[in-house]
Structure 1
Amino acid sequence: MFLEKLKAAEEWANRNTKTAAVVVLVDGQILYQWGDVDTKYISHSTRKSFMSALYCKYVNDGSIDINATMADLGIDDIPALTDQEKTATIGHCLQSVSGVYHTAEAESDFMHNLKPDQDTYLPGTFWIYNNWDFNVLKTIFEQETEKNFYEALKNDIMDPIGANFQLSDSISWTPTRSIHPAYMFRISATDMSKFGQLMLDKGNWQGNQLIPQVGWRKAQSMVGMQKFMMGTDTDICGGWLPMKMPVPICQTVTCPLDPIRRGEQEDSGWRLSLKGIWYLYTLLTLT
């Protein structure tokens, strides 16, 4: 019955969307897939979940102090941050509650104009989808660990889960709106599904704890996201990009793959998990 629904979903998607690839895992095994599952697509905002996961190891070993402020770290921008903005911590940036409303890379004017005025909210008191927070995490990661982000991603996560990720899959970025670049890369639906299974298993890959459990506990002990995120209890370090939104494919049209209740919309796809089932939906994007 479930396979019949998946087939119906494939037929619906092919008729109604520009679907690039779909991978469905059940307990780590591929149940169903279609499309160009091994073609590498731009990560877009899914990159933020990879950064979140990568931070756990270095928070756990003491290389990164999530309570360190932008002032402590010597982090600034052009134009300069205000004194209030410099009190934002790494933890605030991981939660997207820094209160820094600077222009950011990979952010349109429309996105920036949604932000409040500078110093409207104290750090840690107001959530907004903020690419400045997400981008500065790469600057901080490389400064504090003395490691290249892409090399660490490959060595700490991609290689251990058997992903076909090469350093050449990273995308260079020339900053024009902020000194902190976005950290894009290319990844296939197959490899994204492996990462999804890793996260579904709380950082454990075939008995190897790639993302430390203590990292998850630290994340859960931080400021509760339910204050900012429509009632969710989303993890930060070792968790998904801190967002919870309705899934448009099952909300605005008749979708044969139902019921799905929890999910996360991304520029490059929808990622949904339900009782051990991992469903990755990748929209066709420019490569």
Structure 2
Amino acid sequence: MKFNSYIKSKQRTICALGSIGLAVALLSSCGIFYKYPTINDYTQFPYTAIHHGDSVYHFKPRGNNDISQLLVRGQGRDRDTVDLPLDTYLQSTRTAAFVVIRNDSVLFEKYYNGYNRNQLINVFSISKSVTSLLTGLAIEDGYIQSVTDPVTKYVPELLSGDAKFQRLTIEDLLNMRSGLKFNENYGSRFSKMAKLYYGKNQLGQIKKMKFAHEPGSVYEYQSVTTALLGIVLEKATGKELGKYLEEKIWIPLGMEHDATWSLDDEKHRSAKAYQGLNLTAIDLAKIGQLYLNKGKWNGKQIINPDWIKKSTTPNVNNEGYQYQWYSMDEWYYTKDGPYFPDSISAAKAMQQTKYDYYDIKKQRNGKWCVLAYTNAFYAMGYMKQVLYVDPDKKVVVVRIGEIGDVELGFIADELVNKL
């Protein structure tokens, strides 16, 4: 399955801010008028400052291998498929920053549309994946005993809400199986998503929510699920999410720039764990490199490699989503095409392939196809913020920007496969 198609199939679930069709959101209770969300939206919210340390780590400088002219597949003016040089392609889209790291070296780093390498940009739902990283660290530090703990152990305020909160575990939150009744689309200014994003007091909102499903039973991508996970972390650690990130990741990884994490308001100071991280592209690449190195950084184990493995091993029963990270997938083709007459022959064929994880699916035509998962994984945010990691090719790719006129599928299957 090509990455373009994969993004399209996930579009309704991965957007941290709901529907792309949103043009205006207004909450009279806030007294603020907000236009279409942008990567600079964070300037409208209070935040936690995340400071880098005195020691700064720099990736190795790029060599003589210039990939700016590497051809990638894009779309021409008539929407026909054409091959364009990478640099031309990026200039033609609303890309702000594009970084490629291979073997700990900068292979490509360039900024467009008036942005520069020192500029903070909101990465929207990539924040979810970083929240997962902090969850693993909180368990190592003993702030959280286990992912099987109920959330009410750390957020007792929920005991007065729906009884199902007492059966909701941290792992349910990590796997987007909260069961909460919540519509991710906030095309209406009165929707739950709009209220969560623009409103104040996240915990106060969540306490009033009901459940559509038993916790743990149904996978459904919801930003409110990660919002609650962030609250669990802040309650458990006794620290603002941004400050815990500063302590555990920002300083140890030698980030080059300060960052911020947006809050619900100044009074409650609860981090928007689902979309509020604002940072530079080069520092985001370091988080990808940390995962590529299985939790090790500059010779030191920052986080348990078992947590990295759990976060990046495809969860076939969860659409390849686990612990707030996506696994890359592709349709499996034989020389005769993608179809099998039955599930038994499909399973038999897959035993002879390189794939360890796959999902056999029956199609409308009565035949069977196989969705196979590769070793690559990624974090993704609204307007196609991407942190892509390919362990086999030792490559990390960061794309930050806004939605352009053409798809960005080359990030995986057009660019990385040519390096």
TM-score range, shorter chain: 0.7 to 0.9
**What residue number does 2:408 align with?**
none
**What residue number does 2:126 align with?**
46
**What residue number does 2:25 align with?**
none
**What residue number does 1:5 align with?**
70
Structure 2 counterparts to residues 143-162 of structure 1, below 5 A: 143-162=235-254
Verify the 8 A CA contact 2:174 2:322 in the aligned structure 1.
no
Q: Structure 2: which 5+ runs fail to align? A: 1-64, 72-83, 194-208, 331-375, 404-419
Q: What TM-score comes out, normalization by structure 1 length?
A: 0.75
Amino acid at match of 1:280: V
Verify the 8 A CA contact 2:312 2:377 in the aligned structure 1.
no
Q: Structure 1: which 5+ runs fail to align? A: 248-260
CA distance in 2, matches of 1:85, 1:172: 23
Greater Rg over alpha carbons, structure: 2
Does 2:19 match 1:19? no
Count of aligned pairs between the two proteins: 253
User: In structure 2, do the counterparts of structure 1 residues 196 and 22 end up closer, same or farther at CA, with 3 Å as the change threshold?
Assistant: same
Which residue, out of 234, 240, 243, partners 2:326?
243
Verify the 8 A CA contact 2:180 2:212 in the aligned structure 1.
no
**What residue number does 1:29 align with?**
105
Which residue, out of 133, 139, 149, partners 1:68?
149
Verify the 8 A CA contact 2:126 2:387 in the aligned structure 1.
no
CA distance in 2, matches of 1:264, 1:142: 22
Verify the 8 A CA contact 1:25 1:31 in the aligned structure 2.
yes
Q: CA deviation at 1:86?
A: 3.1
Verify the 8 A CA contact 1:163 1:191 in the aligned structure 2.
yes
CA distance in 2, matches of 1:219, 1:188: 23
Verify the 8 A CA contact 1:23 1:37 in the aligned structure 2.
no
Percent of paired sites with the same residue: 19
CA distance in 2, matches of 1:53, 1:127: 20
CA distance in 2, matches of 1:180, 1:92: 21
What whole-Å deviation, never above 9, does each CA across 1:106-130 have from its counterpart, x for those lacking one? x7257869xxx95432211211111
What whole-Å deviation, never above 9, does each CA across 1:29-53 have from its counterpart, x for those lacking one? 1011110233110131111111111
Structure 2 counterparts to residues 187-198 of structure 1, below 5 A: 187-198=279-290
Does 2:399 match 1:281? yes
Between 1 and 2, higher relative CO (CA 8 Å, sep ≥ 6) is seen in 1
| Cα RMSD after superposing both structures | 3.4
Amino acid at match of 1:151: K
Amino acid at match of 1:5: L
Structure 2 counterparts to residues 105-124 of structure 1, below 5 A: 108-109=186-187, 118-124=210-216
CA distance in 2, matches of 1:68, 1:212: 19
Higher strand share: 2
Which residue, out of 59, 63, 77, partners 2:139?
59
User: In structure 2, do the counterparts of structure 1 residues 12 and 119 end up closer, same or farther at CA, with 3 Å as the change threshold?
Assistant: same
Verify the 8 A CA contact 2:296 2:303 in the aligned structure 1.
yes
Q: What TM-score comes out, normalization by structure 2 length?
A: 0.53
Secondary structure at 2:325 match in 1: coil
Which residue, out of 170, 188, 197, partners 2:261?
170
Secondary structure at 2:100 match in 1: strand
Secondary structure at 1:21 match in 2: strand
